[in-house]
Amino acid sequence: MKNDTNTHRLHTITWDAPKLSTRDAAAISGLDYLLSLKEGKIKPPPAAKLIGYRLSKIEPGRAVFELDPSEYHYNPFATVHGGILTTLLDTTMIAAILSTLAIGFSCSTLEIKVNFIRPIRIKTGMIRGEGRIIHLGHNIGIAEGRVKDSQEKLYAHGISTCSIFEV
């Protein structure tokens, strides 16, 4: 270990009650929910506050979330843990599907597959997870996601199968 006398870190997380971020699918479309989330009219869900990702772009069939890598995202190899990247990809891909759903419909991830291309560190800088729909049916949606840096370098990609259902 380096001669660093300041080895202790503190990261404080605050979040709002989940009821302030939960979508009422009977009252708001997926796109309107996500637009309200982006505009700050709806509070981010607790997982977003825990991990630190934020919605930066949303349109029907496409969602982009950003994340600034930090030490608290690190695994034992001093790189961002694959679970963090998987969560970012899952969030972007499910949001891409959700952005197309009318009032009265919701969705849930059934399966996700992720490939990690290269490690991410703090020096990588802000990363973006982008999800896009590949197929949208009545009961099943399939989306792809990519994690890139500001130079468009690819770090991870994934594919997700989502269930679409009436609520």
pLDDT 10s digits, 68-125 = 999 999 999 999 999 999 999 999 999 999 999 999 999 999 999 999 999 999 999 9
Nearest in space to 88 (alpha carbons), one of 110, 60, 56: 56
Helix locations, the chain, DSSP H: 30-38, 46-51, 82-98
Bridge partners of 54, per DSSP, are 66
Residue 79: CB partners within 8 Å, gap ≥ 6? 119, 120, 121
What pLDDT digit, counting tens, does each position of 129-151 carry? Answer: 999 999 999 999 999 999 999 99
For the chain, domains (ranges, CATH) are: 24-166 (3.10.129.10)
- pLDDT above 70 as % of the chain: 97
